[in-house]
Chain A
Amino acid sequence: METIKISGLTKKYKDTTAVDGLDLAINEGELFALLGVNGAGKTTTIKMLSCLAKPTSGDAFLCGKSIVKESGEVKSLIAVSPQETAVAPNLTVRENLELMAGVHGFAKEKTERKIAELTEQFGLGEITSKKAGKLSGGWQRRLSIAMALISEPKILFLDEPTLGLDVVVRSELWDNIRALKGKITIILTTHYMEEAESLSDRIAVMKDGKLIITGTAEEIKAFAGEEKFEDAFVKIVKEAVK
Protein backbone atom coordinates (compact mmCIF):
# COMPACT_ATOMS: atom_id res chain seq x y z
CA MET A 1 0.00 0.00 0.00
CA GLU A 2 1.23 3.48 -0.83
CA THR A 3 1.65 5.69 2.23
CA ILE A 4 3.15 8.60 0.35
CA LYS A 5 2.29 9.66 -3.16
CA ILE A 6 4.14 12.64 -4.56
CA SER A 7 3.15 14.12 -7.88
CA GLY A 8 4.80 16.97 -9.70
CA LEU A 9 6.06 18.50 -6.45
CA THR A 10 7.93 21.71 -7.23
CA LYS A 11 9.45 24.49 -5.15
CA LYS A 12 10.88 27.60 -6.72
CA TYR A 13 12.77 30.26 -4.84
CA LYS A 14 13.56 33.58 -6.51
CA ASP A 15 16.09 32.32 -9.00
CA THR A 16 16.55 28.67 -8.06
CA THR A 17 14.25 25.73 -8.56
CA ALA A 18 15.04 23.79 -5.40
CA VAL A 19 12.73 20.88 -6.23
CA ASP A 20 11.64 20.27 -9.78
CA GLY A 21 8.58 18.14 -10.60
CA LEU A 22 9.13 15.29 -8.17
CA ASP A 23 7.07 12.13 -8.73
CA LEU A 24 7.41 9.35 -6.21
CA ALA A 25 5.44 6.65 -4.42
CA ILE A 26 6.56 5.22 -1.09
CA ASN A 27 5.06 2.10 0.49
CA GLU A 28 3.88 1.56 4.00
CA GLY A 29 6.64 0.51 6.39
CA GLU A 30 9.35 1.30 3.87
CA LEU A 31 12.61 3.01 4.80
CA PHE A 32 13.19 5.27 1.85
CA ALA A 33 16.37 7.27 1.32
CA LEU A 34 16.64 10.52 -0.60
CA LEU A 35 20.27 10.62 -1.61
CA GLY A 36 22.00 13.61 -3.14
CA VAL A 37 24.88 16.03 -2.79
CA ASN A 38 24.47 19.29 -0.88
CA GLY A 39 21.94 21.54 -2.55
CA ALA A 40 20.19 18.70 -4.36
CA GLY A 41 16.85 19.69 -2.82
CA LYS A 42 16.45 17.05 -0.12
CA THR A 43 15.68 19.38 2.78
CA THR A 44 13.27 21.40 0.65
CA THR A 45 11.44 18.18 -0.24
CA ILE A 46 11.16 17.23 3.43
CA LYS A 47 9.98 20.73 4.30
CA MET A 48 7.18 20.54 1.76
CA LEU A 49 6.15 17.04 2.81
CA SER A 50 6.04 18.13 6.45
CA CYS A 51 3.96 21.25 5.60
CA LEU A 52 6.72 23.69 6.59
CA ALA A 53 7.02 25.07 3.07
CA LYS A 54 4.25 25.46 0.51
CA PRO A 55 4.91 23.84 -2.86
CA THR A 56 5.02 26.23 -5.81
CA SER A 57 3.10 23.58 -7.73
CA GLY A 58 2.24 19.91 -7.47
CA ASP A 59 1.02 18.07 -4.41
CA ALA A 60 1.73 15.08 -2.22
CA PHE A 61 -0.63 12.77 -0.37
CA LEU A 62 0.35 11.28 2.96
CA CYS A 63 -2.00 8.46 3.93
CA GLY A 64 -4.33 10.02 1.37
CA LYS A 65 -4.19 13.55 2.86
CA SER A 66 -3.04 16.44 0.72
CA ILE A 67 -0.13 18.49 2.05
CA VAL A 68 -1.63 21.52 0.32
CA LYS A 69 -5.28 21.27 1.35
CA GLU A 70 -5.19 19.13 4.50
CA SER A 71 -2.04 20.23 6.28
CA GLY A 72 -3.73 19.93 9.68
CA GLU A 73 -4.46 16.24 9.16
CA VAL A 74 -1.03 15.66 7.66
CA LYS A 75 0.65 17.18 10.73
CA SER A 76 -1.06 14.68 13.00
CA LEU A 77 0.35 11.78 10.93
CA ILE A 78 3.96 12.85 10.68
CA ALA A 79 6.99 13.74 12.74
CA VAL A 80 10.22 15.39 11.70
CA SER A 81 13.74 15.30 12.97
CA PRO A 82 15.18 18.37 11.22
CA GLN A 83 18.64 18.64 9.71
CA GLU A 84 19.89 20.97 12.42
CA THR A 85 19.54 19.52 15.87
CA ALA A 86 16.16 20.59 17.19
CA VAL A 87 16.21 20.26 20.94
CA ALA A 88 15.40 22.82 23.63
CA PRO A 89 18.87 23.46 25.09
CA ASN A 90 17.94 24.55 28.61
CA LEU A 91 15.53 21.66 29.14
CA THR A 92 16.67 18.27 30.31
CA VAL A 93 16.40 15.20 28.10
CA ARG A 94 13.27 14.15 29.96
CA GLU A 95 11.72 17.61 29.76
CA ASN A 96 12.33 17.70 26.03
CA LEU A 97 10.40 14.46 25.67
CA GLU A 98 7.68 15.80 27.98
CA LEU A 99 7.44 18.93 25.86
CA MET A 100 6.75 16.87 22.74
CA ALA A 101 4.18 14.74 24.56
CA GLY A 102 2.60 17.92 25.90
CA VAL A 103 2.28 19.69 22.57
CA HIS A 104 0.53 16.61 21.24
CA GLY A 105 -1.90 16.80 24.15
CA PHE A 106 -1.03 13.42 25.68
CA ALA A 107 -2.42 12.57 29.11
CA LYS A 108 0.03 11.94 31.94
CA GLU A 109 -0.18 8.16 31.74
CA LYS A 110 0.52 8.00 28.04
CA THR A 111 3.32 10.54 28.40
CA GLU A 112 5.01 8.39 31.04
CA ARG A 113 4.63 5.25 28.97
CA LYS A 114 6.04 6.82 25.81
CA ILE A 115 8.95 8.41 27.66
CA ALA A 116 9.85 5.11 29.33
CA GLU A 117 9.63 3.30 26.02
CA LEU A 118 11.78 5.77 24.08
CA THR A 119 14.31 6.21 26.89
CA GLU A 120 14.83 2.48 26.76
CA GLN A 121 14.87 2.26 22.97
CA PHE A 122 17.46 5.00 22.53
CA GLY A 123 19.50 4.26 25.65
CA LEU A 124 18.78 7.69 27.16
CA GLY A 125 18.40 6.30 30.69
CA GLU A 126 21.65 7.65 32.08
CA ILE A 127 21.20 11.17 30.76
CA THR A 128 17.50 11.86 31.44
CA SER A 129 18.27 14.73 33.82
CA LYS A 130 21.06 16.27 31.76
CA LYS A 131 20.40 19.51 29.89
CA ALA A 132 19.99 18.80 26.18
CA GLY A 133 22.31 21.66 25.26
CA LYS A 134 25.15 20.00 27.17
CA LEU A 135 24.93 16.68 25.28
CA SER A 136 27.36 15.60 22.54
CA GLY A 137 26.24 15.81 18.92
CA GLY A 138 25.43 12.11 18.74
CA TRP A 139 23.25 12.16 21.84
CA GLN A 140 21.46 15.31 20.69
CA ARG A 141 20.62 13.53 17.43
CA ARG A 142 19.35 10.50 19.29
CA LEU A 143 17.21 12.70 21.51
CA SER A 144 16.00 14.56 18.44
CA ILE A 145 14.79 11.33 16.84
CA ALA A 146 13.24 10.12 20.10
CA MET A 147 11.37 13.46 20.33
CA ALA A 148 10.01 12.91 16.86
CA LEU A 149 8.76 9.44 17.78
CA ILE A 150 6.82 10.55 20.88
CA SER A 151 3.69 11.31 18.89
CA GLU A 152 3.57 7.78 17.41
CA PRO A 153 3.75 9.11 13.86
CA LYS A 154 2.76 7.01 10.86
CA ILE A 155 5.49 8.69 8.86
CA LEU A 156 8.88 9.84 10.13
CA PHE A 157 11.16 12.26 8.30
CA LEU A 158 14.84 12.15 9.19
CA ASP A 159 16.78 14.95 7.52
CA GLU A 160 20.48 14.05 7.45
CA PRO A 161 20.27 12.22 10.79
CA THR A 162 23.99 11.48 11.02
CA LEU A 163 25.40 14.67 9.52
CA GLY A 164 28.72 15.54 11.13
CA LEU A 165 28.89 12.54 13.46
CA ASP A 166 31.96 10.32 13.72
CA VAL A 167 31.85 6.79 12.33
CA VAL A 168 31.28 4.99 15.61
CA VAL A 169 28.43 7.24 16.71
CA ARG A 170 26.99 7.05 13.22
CA SER A 171 26.93 3.28 13.25
CA GLU A 172 25.21 3.32 16.65
CA LEU A 173 22.59 5.68 15.32
CA TRP A 174 22.12 3.41 12.30
CA ASP A 175 21.26 0.59 14.72
CA ASN A 176 18.64 2.85 16.33
CA ILE A 177 17.16 3.64 12.92
CA ARG A 178 17.23 0.00 11.78
CA ALA A 179 15.27 -0.94 14.88
CA LEU A 180 12.42 1.26 13.61
CA LYS A 181 12.25 -0.45 10.21
CA GLY A 182 8.95 -1.97 9.25
CA LYS A 183 7.09 -0.31 12.12
CA ILE A 184 6.63 3.06 10.49
CA THR A 185 7.31 4.60 7.12
CA ILE A 186 10.58 6.49 7.18
CA ILE A 187 12.00 8.96 4.71
CA LEU A 188 15.61 9.68 5.38
CA THR A 189 17.77 12.13 3.52
CA THR A 190 21.51 11.79 3.35
CA HIS A 191 24.51 12.64 1.28
CA TYR A 192 26.41 9.64 2.69
CA MET A 193 26.17 6.89 0.08
CA GLU A 194 26.98 4.12 2.52
CA GLU A 195 24.20 5.32 4.78
CA ALA A 196 21.61 5.07 2.03
CA GLU A 197 22.91 1.67 0.95
CA SER A 198 23.13 0.17 4.40
CA LEU A 199 19.82 1.39 5.83
CA SER A 200 17.21 1.74 3.19
CA ASP A 201 14.82 -0.48 1.32
CA ARG A 202 14.83 1.83 -1.68
CA ILE A 203 16.81 4.87 -2.70
CA ALA A 204 15.98 7.87 -4.85
CA VAL A 205 18.93 9.84 -6.16
CA MET A 206 18.32 13.60 -6.43
CA LYS A 207 20.32 16.15 -8.33
CA ASP A 208 19.51 19.83 -8.88
CA GLY A 209 16.00 19.29 -7.60
CA LYS A 210 15.27 16.44 -9.98
CA LEU A 211 14.94 12.75 -9.33
CA ILE A 212 17.39 10.90 -11.54
CA ILE A 213 16.86 7.29 -10.49
CA THR A 214 14.80 5.28 -8.00
CA GLY A 215 15.36 1.68 -6.95
CA THR A 216 17.03 -0.64 -4.49
CA ALA A 217 20.78 -0.32 -4.04
CA GLU A 218 21.13 -3.51 -6.12
CA GLU A 219 19.01 -2.14 -8.93
CA ILE A 220 20.95 1.10 -9.00
CA LYS A 221 24.25 -0.76 -9.15
CA ALA A 222 22.95 -2.98 -11.94
CA PHE A 223 21.67 0.04 -13.86
CA ALA A 224 25.05 1.74 -13.70
CA GLY A 225 26.94 -1.48 -14.32
CA GLU A 226 29.11 -0.96 -11.26
CA GLU A 227 30.11 -3.34 -8.46
CA LYS A 228 30.14 -0.77 -5.71
CA PHE A 229 27.22 1.45 -4.83
CA GLU A 230 29.51 4.42 -4.42
CA ASP A 231 30.81 4.08 -7.97
CA ALA A 232 27.29 3.64 -9.27
CA PHE A 233 26.14 6.82 -7.51
CA VAL A 234 29.03 8.88 -8.81
CA LYS A 235 28.55 7.59 -12.34
CA ILE A 236 24.82 8.26 -12.37
CA VAL A 237 25.17 11.75 -10.92
CA LYS A 238 27.94 12.65 -13.39
CA GLU A 239 26.03 11.37 -16.37
CA ALA A 240 22.95 13.25 -15.36
CA VAL A 241 24.82 16.48 -16.14
CA LYS A 242 24.69 15.77 -19.83
Chain B
Amino acid sequence: MDQIRRVIIALAAVLVWALVPNAVQAEEHELVITHMEIAETNIRPKVGDTVKFINQADIAHNLYLTYEDGTVQNLDTQFPGMSKTAKIERSGKVVVRCWIHPVIRMEFDAADAD
Protein backbone atom coordinates (compact mmCIF):
# COMPACT_ATOMS: atom_id res chain seq x y z
CA MET B 1 0.00 0.00 0.00
CA ASP B 2 2.76 2.34 1.00
CA GLN B 3 4.45 1.71 -2.29
CA ILE B 4 1.30 2.47 -4.28
CA ARG B 5 0.83 5.71 -2.36
CA ARG B 6 4.38 6.70 -3.15
CA VAL B 7 3.84 6.00 -6.85
CA ILE B 8 0.63 8.04 -6.84
CA ILE B 9 2.39 10.99 -5.19
CA ALA B 10 5.21 10.79 -7.71
CA LEU B 11 2.80 10.66 -10.64
CA ALA B 12 0.85 13.63 -9.23
CA ALA B 13 4.08 15.58 -8.92
CA VAL B 14 4.93 14.89 -12.52
CA LEU B 15 1.44 15.90 -13.59
CA VAL B 16 1.58 19.19 -11.66
CA TRP B 17 5.03 19.95 -13.12
CA ALA B 18 3.77 19.30 -16.61
CA LEU B 19 0.64 21.44 -16.22
CA VAL B 20 2.12 24.50 -14.51
CA PRO B 21 2.83 27.15 -17.15
CA ASN B 22 6.53 27.66 -17.22
CA ALA B 23 8.10 30.49 -19.18
CA VAL B 24 11.53 28.92 -19.33
CA GLN B 25 10.35 25.45 -20.27
CA ALA B 26 12.16 24.27 -23.38
CA GLU B 27 10.19 22.92 -26.31
CA GLU B 28 11.11 20.03 -28.53
CA HIS B 29 10.80 20.37 -32.31
CA GLU B 30 10.91 17.39 -34.62
CA LEU B 31 12.41 17.02 -38.07
CA VAL B 32 12.29 13.86 -40.14
CA ILE B 33 15.09 12.71 -42.45
CA THR B 34 13.81 10.75 -45.43
CA HIS B 35 16.22 9.20 -47.92
CA MET B 36 18.58 12.15 -48.51
CA GLU B 37 16.38 14.97 -47.41
CA ILE B 38 15.17 16.66 -44.27
CA ALA B 39 11.42 16.93 -44.71
CA GLU B 40 10.30 20.53 -45.07
CA THR B 41 8.74 22.00 -41.95
CA ASN B 42 8.62 25.47 -40.50
CA ILE B 43 10.20 25.29 -37.12
CA ARG B 44 11.31 28.35 -35.17
CA PRO B 45 12.95 27.11 -32.01
CA LYS B 46 14.26 29.34 -29.22
CA VAL B 47 17.69 29.11 -27.69
CA GLY B 48 17.49 26.30 -25.14
CA ASP B 49 14.86 24.37 -27.13
CA THR B 50 15.76 21.05 -28.62
CA VAL B 51 15.45 19.87 -32.19
CA LYS B 52 15.01 16.15 -32.63
CA PHE B 53 16.12 14.65 -35.94
CA ILE B 54 14.42 11.34 -36.68
CA ASN B 55 16.17 9.20 -39.27
CA GLN B 56 13.45 7.48 -41.29
CA ALA B 57 15.85 6.78 -44.18
CA ASP B 58 17.39 3.37 -44.73
CA ILE B 59 20.89 4.83 -44.70
CA ALA B 60 22.92 6.36 -41.87
CA HIS B 61 23.45 10.12 -41.57
CA ASN B 62 25.75 12.36 -39.58
CA LEU B 63 24.17 15.78 -39.24
CA TYR B 64 25.76 18.95 -37.97
CA LEU B 65 24.43 22.41 -37.21
CA THR B 66 26.32 25.56 -38.11
CA TYR B 67 25.42 28.82 -36.34
CA GLU B 68 25.92 32.29 -37.79
CA ASP B 69 29.18 32.76 -35.89
CA GLY B 70 30.57 29.59 -37.48
CA THR B 71 30.19 27.39 -34.40
CA VAL B 72 29.56 23.79 -35.41
CA GLN B 73 27.48 21.35 -33.39
CA ASN B 74 28.04 17.74 -34.44
CA LEU B 75 25.29 15.15 -33.90
CA ASP B 76 27.33 11.99 -34.61
CA THR B 77 26.32 9.07 -36.75
CA GLN B 78 22.66 8.16 -36.69
CA PHE B 79 21.63 4.79 -38.01
CA PRO B 80 18.25 4.17 -39.67
CA GLY B 81 15.46 4.51 -37.15
CA MET B 82 17.64 6.40 -34.70
CA SER B 83 16.95 9.92 -33.39
CA LYS B 84 19.50 12.57 -32.41
CA THR B 85 18.71 15.70 -30.48
CA ALA B 86 20.42 19.07 -30.70
CA LYS B 87 19.97 21.73 -28.02
CA ILE B 88 19.88 25.11 -29.72
CA GLU B 89 22.81 27.15 -28.46
CA ARG B 90 22.61 30.42 -30.38
CA SER B 91 19.96 32.55 -32.07
CA GLY B 92 19.97 33.51 -35.75
CA LYS B 93 20.23 31.40 -38.87
CA VAL B 94 21.07 27.74 -38.28
CA VAL B 95 22.20 25.58 -41.20
CA VAL B 96 21.79 21.81 -40.96
CA ARG B 97 23.99 19.65 -43.15
CA CYS B 98 25.27 16.07 -43.25
CA TRP B 99 28.96 15.20 -43.22
CA ILE B 100 28.33 12.11 -45.35
CA HIS B 101 25.87 13.55 -47.88
CA PRO B 102 26.58 17.11 -49.07
CA VAL B 103 23.20 17.16 -50.82
CA ILE B 104 21.46 17.45 -47.44
CA ARG B 105 20.93 21.03 -46.44
CA MET B 106 18.20 22.87 -44.55
CA GLU B 107 17.98 26.09 -42.61
CA PHE B 108 15.86 27.48 -39.84
CA ASP B 109 15.87 30.58 -37.69
CA ALA B 110 16.44 30.29 -33.97
CA ALA B 111 14.97 32.98 -31.71
CA ASP B 112 16.46 34.34 -28.52
CA ALA B 113 15.32 32.64 -25.32
CA ASP B 114 12.36 34.36 -23.60
Do these two chains interact?
Answer: no
- Please give the residue numbers on chain A whose beta carbons come within 8 Å of chain B beta carbons, in ascending order: none
- Please give the residue numbers on chain B whose beta carbons come within 8 Å of chain A beta carbons, in ascending order: none
